[in-house]
């Protein structure tokens, strides 16, 4: 995986480029493309146009754009593209609670909802060692519901930073999602913003912040995985905003 060093110092520039399609999505793109071609060859133009739209959507769904990740020592980066739909004080999930996981009895949870039009590649919020990776089969309720955190198919991650601080985050399947895929395994050394998994077709990601940390995002704000700063560890600054 190539890495580009970026900064906000004056000078230089960058050009926009088409995002690539993640390898996990190429087979779906190929299947959709073949079906589209078959419809056109059979002279079924209406179905051909419909499948052409489906093929374009499949390519867009599995797009994997390059992201520039801030490297500050205290930053927690968004693990998902989407809409911040909930910020709540909750107990961490029992599967990753306790002394070998997220030890705090109560933590702030930031929930990011991904629609079927968002990028679905998820990234780690911080650099560190992956201490826990727990997959749990479950239901497929609307991922925007609060109880989806406890009842839906989900996958928990706990990453321990070099200073011992642990950050947890959870991939949660939604109404249409039927597959959560990890790209990493326990013990992996992760870089902030590194790709760690994929959820197919609409879902949600929860981030659990350590004690004394307040989110730096607002309800209704959109985030970009690997780029948006969700919080700064140890900073308890309440933000207000205006929707306009």
Catalytic residue ranges: 203
CB atoms within 10 A of CB 18: 8
Structure tokens at 96: 């990753």
Residues 6+ apart with CB under 8 A from 192: 69, 70, 71, 75, 77, 124, 125, 126, 127
Q: Do 107 and 96 contact (CB within 8 A), yes or no?
A: no
Q: List C-alpha distances in Å: 42 to 32, 33, 35, 61.
A: 16, 14, 11, 27
CA–CA separation, 25 vs 240, rounded Å?
Answer: 38
Q: List C-alpha distances in Å: 124 to 121, 150, 226.
A: 10, 21, 7
CA–CA separation, 135 vs 54, rounded Å?
Answer: 30
CA 198 to chain centre: 8
CA–CA separation, 209 vs 77, rounded Å?
Answer: 11
SS3 category, 28: helix
Query: Hunting for tokens 């002279």 — which residue is that?
Result: 43
């Amino acid at each position: 995986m190539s890495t580009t060093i970026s900064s906000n110092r004056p000078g230089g520039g960058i050009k926009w480029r088409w995002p690539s399609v993640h390898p996990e999505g190429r087979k779906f793109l190929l299947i959709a493309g073949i079906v589209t071609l078959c419809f056109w060859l059979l002279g079924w133009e209406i179905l051909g146009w419909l499948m052409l739209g489906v093929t374009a959507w499949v390519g867009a769904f599995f797009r994997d754009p390059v992201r520039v990740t801030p490297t500050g020592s205290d930053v927690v980066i968004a693990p998902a593209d989407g809409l911040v739909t909930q910020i709540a004080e909750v107990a961490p999930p029992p599967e990753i609670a306790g002394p070998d996981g997220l030890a705090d009895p109560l933590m702030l949870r930031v929930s990011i909802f991904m629609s079927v039009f968002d990028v679905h590649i998820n990234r780690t919020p911080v650099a560190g060692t992956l201490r826990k990776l727990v997959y749990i089969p479950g239901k497929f309720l609307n991922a925007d519901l609060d109880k989806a955190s406890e009842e839906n198919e989900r996958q928990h991650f706990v990453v321990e930073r070099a200073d011992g601080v642990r950050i947890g985050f959870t991939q949660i399947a939604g109404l249409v999602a039927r597959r959560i895929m990890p790209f990493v395994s326990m013990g992996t050394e992760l870089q902030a913003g590194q790709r760690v998994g994929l959820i197919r077709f609409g879902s949600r990601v929860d981030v659990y912040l350590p004690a004394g940390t307040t989110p730096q995002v607002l309800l209704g704000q959109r985030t970009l995985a690997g780029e948006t700063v969700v919080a700064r560890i140890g900073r308890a600054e309440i933000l207000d905003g205006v929707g306009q």
